[in-house]
Amino acid sequence: MATTLFEWIEEGFAAAHPDKPALRSERGELGWGELLPGARAIASFLRDAGVGRGQRVGLWMDKTPRCVEALLGVLGAGAAYVPLDPRAPVARVAGIARDCGLSAVFTDAAHRAELPAFLAGADAPLLLVDDPELDGSAAAALAPGRRVALLDEALAFPPSDPARASPDDLAYVLYTSGSTGRPKGVAHTHASGLSFARWVKDRFQIRSDDVFSAHAPLHFDLSISDLFASLGAGASVRLLSPTEGMLAPYLVRMLDVWGITVWYSVPSALVAMLEQGGLEARPPERLRLLFFAGEVFPMAQLRRLRRALPHVTLVNLFGPTETNVCTYQVVPQTLPEPAAGSGSGSGTFVGFLPIGHGCENLETFVIDDAGAETDLPGAEGTLWARGGNIMQGYFGDPEKTAAVLMPDPRGRPGLACCTGDRVRILPDGAYEFRGRRDHMVKVKGHRVELGEIEAVLAEHPGVREAVAVALPDPAAGNRIVAAAVPRAGASPSPSELRAHLAARLPRYMLPAGLEVMSELPRTSTGKADRGRLREQWEGGGAHGDDRRAEPG
Amino acid sequence: METIAGRSQGDDEVERSLIDFVERNVVVDGGRVGREERLVESGRVDSIGLLQILGYVAEKFEVDLLVLGAPRDLLSVAALAAAVRRETAARSRPAAEGA
């Protein structure tokens, strides 16, 4: 039985037909019969170049089959891969490369022009370039003083047995935005990555005839399931480019053409497929399993999705990158409709799906505000997890690691991960998400969960999506500003939305400013970009008014 | 008038108009945009920017690339202009054939 991610992929290879595509994208495909030999050759090349266990290798490439082949080659060498956001500014990418001390970097033609700036800020001694326009000497000229090889050269290297990494060896580092503005590297081992991939495969019976979509970029933790739950079962993966991922009508048209059976994305991508893509009129026939994660799914939109895809198992996967995923909720066939005039100020979320129970391969528990474990229905506290999928730590940052991976607060031996998520225990033992501890703000002395405002706003029939952020305010402590995106064909006014909120929330929770926007800014992972909204609103001065923003 | 590159004089105007719009309204860094430069894939255009561009194309050229377009049509200004020409020609074809 596999104990490392590379062995896991070897198991998938044994289950798959060699002629079947393993990876497809708009830029080509790789069959199973090519993928594993190619990854083994790259692994041998890297080992020959002195890259091995514990070392980090950057992937600064578009998400193509060749990129995934390189990723597997890194794992085959016993090293850890570090996906570098191909759409991020080069200074940020170079900063991440510096932070984790890369031994090698894979890059491609798309980043050739930015390479000098990257290399000026990063110390990678070995560069592997996937660029059909270059020969060996032209490639070498890209980085004088460093070893440069074409990816084709590595692919032609005589394969040898893969390095046998240990389950506790570092396997990948995913950089997420840190609250201080400096990205932090969430470091996972083969054991934690494999535990998650195996849980997805077993719990949802992933088969070799499944076809996964890979909507998320590789630096986003959704990609772990996209790549490993799929390939470990011998299934195929259709890699989506960022442009494909943003073109909802095209995605809806292509789901059945590509034969997608398993989809995983942030809710906003699915909302776009409902709103702009006509998903309800054209439900994909082959889709059987749909995961969503990364942000709260507005209940009104989730009801639409549930009705549009009655034949599909919908699953809310929940957990910070530090846990891969730690809880899940299968969406029932019928979702409750909101009661007319139902309020939320009493502490009841009207607009959220529960985040469900802990994944079977790890342990979850709740610590209340007094520091005691509780499993009483109705009790509220912080969600903790241990075992299974949990990260090794933040790369190179023992202080931050110790603030999250702490001695088990129940006094049991070993460490547990404090997720920072507040939950309430439901009568059946499932968890209801009550927001991030860091999304909890004080307004005029009242504790306010921003997610609650978002949920109530998103329940308005004319609203597709809503976001609330807190801006510092000398008088009130914080001032809340919210944005709402209308549903297609709807045009709710700020005053109409304010009346909707006022009927459901206590006065102190009402946003000081409310903006109707045609679309929200997004992070590279597709989530609503709260930081950018905060900057826009702060930059726009103290605006406590309501406004409607027109596109363009 | 077709050129050897398969582009017409009108296309150059389409490209110029698109570049002007993207530089003025979409890219956040304030820099120039090349006709072959990748828009979304490079990170210079985000999801809001893409919708702005598609809205502009729909309004200015009466071509709905959000519905009709494929991802390759949105890769660059040159690709957008080619898609505008293709869809405009497809729209005028039935009338021409029926004439």
Flag whether B13 is in a domain.
Answer: yes
Nearest to A84 by CA among A183, A5, A182, A169: A183
A365 & A485 share domain? no
Enumerate the β-bridge partners of residue A486: A463
Task: Please state, in angstroms and as integers, the Cα–Cα distance from residue A383 to each residue in A409, A413, A428, A452, B6, following that order.
Answer: 12, 18, 16, 18, 61
Closest chain A residue to B44, measured at CA: A87
Element (H, E) at A30: strand A28-31
Nearest to B69 among A247, A520, A552 (CB): A247
A283 & A362 share domain? no
Flag whether A189 is in a domain.
Answer: no
ipTM of the complex: 0.86
Q: How many helices and strands (H and E) does chain A possess?
A: 18, 29
**What proportions of chain B, in percent to the nearest 5, are helix, strand and coil?**
65, 0, 35
Flag whether A213 is in a domain.
Answer: no
- Inspect the interface and report whether the beta carbons of B66 and A242 lie closer than 8 Å: no
Flag whether B1 is in a domain.
Answer: no
Nearest to B71 among A110, A250, A518 (CB): A250
CATH number of the domain where residue A62 is located: 3.40.50.980
Q: CA A365, CA A385: separation in Å to the nearest integer?
A: 6
B29, B33, B46: best to mutate for the A interface, most A CBs within 10 A: B46
A290 & A249 share domain? yes
Please give the DSSP secondary-structure letter assigned to residue A517. Answer: -
Domain boundary among A165, A187, A212: A165
B42, B47, B60, B80: best to mutate for the A interface, most A CBs within 10 A: B47
The domain of B68 spans: 9-98
Nearest to B71 among A62, A244, A276 (CB): A244
Burial label for B92, CB within 10 Å (0-12, 13-18, 19+), is: exposed
CATH number of the domain where residue B86 is located: 1.10.1200.10
Residues of A in contact with B20 (CB under 8 A): none
Flag whether B84 is in a domain.
Answer: yes
- Contact call for residues A111 and A60 (beta carbons, < 8 A): yes
Nearest to B51 among A86, A243, A518 (CB): A518
A80 & A143 share domain? yes
**B90 and chain A: CB distance < 8 Å anywhere?**
no
The domain of A505 spans: 448-548
Flag whether A198 is in a domain.
Answer: no
Flag whether B71 is in a domain.
Answer: yes
Tell me the shortest Cα–Cα distance from B80 to chain A, in angstroms: 13
A49 & A152 share domain? yes
Strands A289-292 and A313-318, by their bridges, are: parallel
Closest chain A residue to B50, measured at CA: A246
CATH number of the domain where residue A365 is located: 2.30.38.10
Flag whether B82 is in a domain.
Answer: yes
A78 & A147 share domain? yes
Q: CA A29, CA A88: separation in Å to the nearest integer?
A: 25
Closest chain A residue to B70, measured at CA: A250
Residues of A in contact with B74 (CB under 8 A): 243, 247
**B 4-63 → A contacts, CB under 8 A:** 25, 38-43, 46-48, 50-52, 55-56
Strands A393-394 and A446-449, by their bridges, are: unpaired
- Inspect the interface and report whether the beta carbons of A86 and B38 lie closer than 8 Å: no
- Inspect the interface and report whether the beta carbons of B51 and A87 lie closer than 8 Å: no
A60, A92, A107, A250: best to mutate for the B interface, most B CBs within 10 A: A250
Cβ–Cβ contacts within 10 Å for residue B5, how many? 8
Tell me the shortest Cα–Cα distance from A215 to chain B, in angstroms: 14
- In Å, the largest CA–CA distance within chain B is 49
Task: Please state, in angstroms and as integers, the Cα–Cα distance from residue A239 to each residue in A75, A184, A211, A215, following that order.
Answer: 19, 26, 10, 7
Tell me the shortest Cα–Cα distance from A87 to chain B, in angstroms: 4
Nearest to A383 by CA among A368, A370, A393, A394: A368
A425 & A460 share domain? no
- Inspect the interface and report whether the beta carbons of B41 and A243 lie closer than 8 Å: yes
CATH number of the domain where residue A462 is located: 3.30.300.30
Three-state DSSP class for residue A42 = helix
Tokens 């259709």 map to which residue?
A238
Q: CA A175, CA A395: separation in Å to the nearest integer?
A: 9
The answer for residues whose C-beta is within 8 angstroms of residue A130's C-beta and 6 or more apart is A61, A66, A67, A70, A106, A107, A108, A109, A150, A151
Flag whether A490 is in a domain.
Answer: yes
A466 & A416 share domain? no
Flag whether B3 is in a domain.
Answer: no
Query: Taking the complete model, does pTM exceed 0.90, yes or no?
Result: no
Residues of A in contact with B25 (CB under 8 A): 552
- Inspect the interface and report whether the beta carbons of A87 and B56 lie closer than 8 Å: no
Nearest to B46 among A276, A522, A552 (CB): A522
Identify residue B29 by its one-letter amino acid code.
D
Q: Which two tokens stand for residue A150?
A: 């074409």
Flag whether A442 is in a domain.
Answer: no
- Inspect the interface and report whether the beta carbons of B71 and A522 lie closer than 8 Å: no
Domain count, chain B: 1
Burial label for A1, CB within 10 Å (0-12, 13-18, 19+), is: exposed
Please give the DSSP secondary-structure letter assigned to residue A95. Answer: H
Domain count, chain A: 4
Residues of B in contact with A85 (CB under 8 A): 43
Flag whether A186 is in a domain.
Answer: no
* pLDDT class of B7 with cuts at 50, 70, 90: low
Nearest to A519 among B42, B48, B69 (CB): B48
Flag whether B17 is in a domain.
Answer: yes
Q: What is the pLDDT along chain A (552 residues), one digit of tens a residue?
A: 999 999 999 999 999 988 889 999 999 999 999 999 999 999 999 999 999 999 999 999 999 999 999 999 999 999 999 999 999 889 889 999 999 999 999 999 999 999 999 999 888 999 999 999 999 899 999 999 999 999 999 999 998 777 789 999 999 999 986 555 578 899 999 999 999 999 999 999 999 999 999 999 999 999 999 999 999 999 999 999 999 999 999 999 999 999 999 999 999 899 999 999 999 999 999 999 999 998 888 888 999 999 999 999 999 999 999 999 999 999 999 988 766 544 443 334 456 789 999 999 999 999 998 999 999 999 999 999 999 899 999 999 999 999 999 999 999 999 999 999 999 999 999 999 887 777 767 776 676 778 888 888 998 999 999 999 988 776 666 789 999 999 988 999 998 999 898 888 877 788 989 999 988 988 887 888 888 888 888 776 434 455 655 332
Per DSSP, the residues of A193-217 read HHHHHHHHHHHTT--TT-EEEE-S-
Please compute the mean of the pLDDT values over residues B43-63 and round it to a whole number. Answer: 92
Domain boundary among A139, A165, A191: A165
Flag whether A147 is in a domain.
Answer: yes
Flag whether A207 is in a domain.
Answer: no
